[in-house]
Amino acid sequence: MAAGIPDDVAPVAPHEAQAFQAFVIDGVTKQLQKDNKAERLPEFIRAAGAYGKGEVDADSFLLTLSDLFGEQKALKMAPTLARLVKNDDRRRSLLKAARASGQVEVLGADSPNGGAAAPEPAAVSAPAPEPSAPAVEEPAPAP
């Protein structure tokens, strides 16, 4: 399970929806341009709309996002995109699918993704014990 992806995020308030959607489209557009995939913006818009309407499931939507942006970026985007999903079950389903997919870097508490918790630190294994040296007897002091 991916650490850092919340079980749920607050949906965007109706009076913020248009501005938040513009924020997302702007970010997606810039990322696609950076990746030389600007012509694929309509594919993102169709996939996001289809997911929001319940026409595709969360796993299919995440696969489309992964194809467009790579798995890591797709997972990073999931909490932010989930805020645009009005249906509670679909919003939580997207986050659940993302948690099952891998690790994510979550933005800080004042971020547009809803202030999800920071990722858990990676487990650090204890260093291997050093090989023990053979027992050496100290020479007796000279009389």
Segment 85-93 shows an average pLDDT of 96
pLDDT tens digits for 15-62? 999 999 999 999 999 999 999 999 999 999 999 999 999 999 999 999
Say if pTM beats, i.e. exceeds, 0.85: no
Token digits of residue 32: 């696609």
Going by C-beta distance under 8 Å and a sequence separation of 6 or more, which residues neighbour residue 60?
51
Position 134 scores a pLDDT of 43
Half-sphere exposure of 87 (CA within 13 A, CB side): 13
